[in-house]
Amino acid sequence: MSERICGTICLTTESKVHLVELVHYLADRFFEIAGFEDEAVSRLTAAVREAVNNAIEHGNKMDPEKKVQLGITLEKDRVLITVRDEGEGFDAESVPSPLDGENRLKNGGRGIFFMRKFMDRVEFHKLPDDGTEVIMAKNLPD
């Protein structure tokens, strides 16, 4: 990546699963335009996709009245991604690891696993009213 572009984009969407494709496309193009290499674009976009998909499916339980908010901030030294839903919240530590033998063939936990694999920091916060906020950061090389 040569010269870094800094800035923030924000998107609010309804909780409809087919909109995950649109979010995926927009994040992919944003990271490409920002000058990231193909592998970094794929990993960052996958983390965004998993977080938004989880917010729609698990957080908001696909209720189209509930919104998902996405923010992507490019700073000189990192990418910061936030995803907020309006659901009841959950305990991320209670989600079973897909690497455990009995969970390998199950679908649950893969999204959080990939987010943690692709990002340097992943935090889950219960919001004061309703909802969960996922904060993901990826440190960038000098």
Residue 77 pLDDT greater than 80, yes or no: yes
Residue 2 pLDDT greater than 60, yes or no: no
- Output DSSP code: residue 15: S
Directed axis angle between helix 38-54 and helix 19-33, to 10°? 150
Q: Which of 83, 70, 88, 72 is nearest to 30 (CA)?
A: 72
Q: How far apart are the first and last CA of the chain?
A: 10
| 1 confidence band (pLDDT: 50, 70, 90) | very low
Confidence (pTM)? 0.87
- Specify the pLDDT at position 97: 60
Domains in the chain, start-ordered, CATH in brackets?
7-139 (3.30.565.10)
Directed axis angle between helix 38-54 and helix 110-118, to 10°? 140
| 90 confidence band (pLDDT: 50, 70, 90) | low
